[in-house]
Amino acid sequence: MSLKVPKANNIQLFKEGSKHLQGLEDAVLRNIQAVSELSDLVRTSFGPNGRSKLVINHLGKLFVTTDAATIIRELEVVHPAAKLLVMASQAQEQEMGDATNLVLILAGELLKLAESLLVMGLHPSDVIQGYELAGAKANEILTTKLKTTELEKPLTHAGLVKALRPVLAAKQYGYEDTLAKLVAEAAMVVMPSNPANFNVDNIRVVKIMGGSLAGSRVVKGMVFGREPEGVVKQARDAKVAVFTCAIDISQTETKGTVLLHNAEEMLNFTRGEEQQMEKIFKEIADSGVKIIVAGNGVGDLALHYLDRFGIAVIKVLSKFDLRRLCRVVNATPLARLGAPTLDEMGWVDVLETTEIGGDRVTVFRQEDTTSGKHERTRTATVLLRGATPNLLDDLERAVDDGTAVLKALIKDVRLVPGAGASEMALSRAIAAYGAEMRGLAQHSARLYATALEVVPRTLAENAGARDATDVLNRLRASQDESLGVDIEGEGDGTLNANEHGILDSVAAKSWAIKLATEAAVAVLKVDSIIMSKPAGGPKVPQSSGNWDED
């Protein structure tokens, strides 16, 4: 007779208060639903006709933008599965600077279509296998088989404008010509002899409210939105000293008491400090320095001596801008107050203070970056004008995206037809590839082809096409790889993307497809959600805003 071992029930595996969701309904489908909501949220902002989102972040700052990267960053998504998509989109932003929305809507569409297969009983492994094979095939076709156009070599202003127009049209439709000319002009100013060394950080943006975008221009050098502190407002062919410390009398670490017996002692009390300050600034003036850049405060006594010796002083409180300025003028930032050595000094051709739209700004302008022994970094600043702060912020994001795409285009000069044309060509190719496959993975491979159609369909819907399905059917029926969606809705709703100059970067699109596929597969691989108990005690009740009113 064997002994019966009692079965233990209610084993507590995790700490009390933790949640554990598993299975198809509780974990997989719930994740897909969360991702679909995020994808639908940004989908209406896709393309030149995308609608803006008004986002108010946790600090109460207002954002009005169609930029998916900004929207999801300020929304602070907390769902773990949706966060996977957010991270994929952020990776695209860091790598290419564009097509962040494509990552979100393609991954969302892949997961929406996968839901039907999972509900029918197909195992997630089969769906994952089909998506991975189809994603690899799509990238192979995009990079090797589609007809491509190459960026003109050597790089010219007109060639850059042509490549940048479609990118900027997706951000600021109607302003793309003006913005493309500004970004191309700034890029040509800072372009090194070897374009592969192009640095996006050398193109800066300064926003000045008022006027319109037509009043924007490019300045060779750096622009700061404040004027110098003293009476000296301009200089030419001047030596520059950069100090990260305060330009003031050094303070002692301990407090002391001074007893003054008569008026003469009181008059002589600060004379020693004044003489010491005068000695320091005389040494700086004798070294030939005509401009001082301060990374901290400037004292009144120091300003008095600087004005006496005819030295201009400007405060730059951002340490990042201070580093960039050091690169521009080729100076070494000093943490001590004193005369710099010849190697520590920088050089600038023109320092001037001008008024733009009622704002006084200081310009460090470079006439020639190779004058004499002073080899400096070439920098350009795009001065943006606009009616509202929100418009200026959106224009700045467009310029940043344009320069990032330019960097990607220099690495890979190939361009493919835009307006959804290349996605439709890939969709047709993947559908044929799926038809040749064997096994259950073929079903998800065919759905991958259907998911790629989300790009032209979304473009048509956001453009207000009366029947987006008709436009999509025309694209499906055509075998022309250049046929895309006409967002202006003329004719039958289609156009030849190559003839209209609507071209997308191969590298940006390839990365977007790769990251969207990886994000969708990562979500499908999850079969359990385990959440620990949140740390901390109960939340402190918020006090009422009208506590003093009965």
The mean per-residue pLDDT over the stretch 258-269 comes to 75
Domains belonging to the chain, first-starting first, are 19-148+417-530 (1.10.560.10), 217-386 (3.50.7.10)
Three-class DSSP category at 391: helix
Residue, of 18 and 172, whose pLDDT is higher: 172
Residue, of 530 and 503, whose pLDDT is higher: 503
Burial of 245 (0-12, 13-18, 19+ CB in 10 A): middle
pTM passes above 0.85:
no
- The pLDDT confidence band at residue 491, using thresholds 50, 70 and 90, is low
Which pLDDT does position 7 carry in this prediction? 52
Query: What is the rounded distance in angstroms from the CA atom of residue 419 to the CA atom of residue 427?
Result: 14
The mean per-residue pLDDT over the stretch 131-144 comes to 84
For residue 316, pLDDT beyond 50: yes
Query: What is the rounded distance in angstroms from the CA atom of residue 297 to the CA atom of residue 229?
Result: 10
Which pLDDT does position 532 carry in this prediction? 61
For residue 488, pLDDT beyond 50: yes
Could you tell me which residues come within 8 angstroms of residue 471 by beta carbon, excluding any fewer than 6 positions away? Answer: 456, 460, 465, 485, 492, 493, 494
- In this predicted model, what pLDDT tens digit does every residue of 346-356 receive, in sequence order? 888 888 887 77
Which pLDDT does position 373 carry in this prediction? 46
> For 258, what's the count of Cα atoms within 13 Å in the CB-facing half-sphere?
8
The mean per-residue pLDDT over the stretch 267-281 comes to 75
- The pLDDT confidence band at residue 48, using thresholds 50, 70 and 90, is confident
Query: What is the rounded distance in angstroms from the CA atom of residue 46 to the CA atom of residue 52?
Result: 10
* pLDDT > 90 in the chain, percent: 0
- Residue 72 and residue 104 in contact, taking contact as beta carbons nearer than 8 Å: yes
Which pLDDT does position 549 carry in this prediction? 45
For residue 100, pLDDT beyond 60: yes
Structure tokens at 160: 């850059």
SS3 content of the chain, % helix, strand, coil (to 5): 45, 15, 35
Q: Count Cβ atoms below 10 Å from residue 126 Cβ, excluding itself.
A: 17
Q: Please give the DSSP secondary-structure letter assigned to residue 336.
A: S
Which pLDDT does position 25 carry in this prediction? 60
- The pLDDT confidence band at residue 252, using thresholds 50, 70 and 90, is low
For residue 413, pLDDT beyond 50: yes
For residue 235, pLDDT beyond 70: yes
Alpha helices in 51-156 (DSSP H): 68-75, 80-95, 100-120, 124-144
Residue, of 65 and 466, whose pLDDT is higher: 65
Which pLDDT does position 395 carry in this prediction? 85
- Residue 405 and residue 151 in contact, taking contact as beta carbons nearer than 8 Å: no
- Residue 79 and residue 32 in contact, taking contact as beta carbons nearer than 8 Å: no
- The pLDDT confidence band at residue 232, using thresholds 50, 70 and 90, is confident
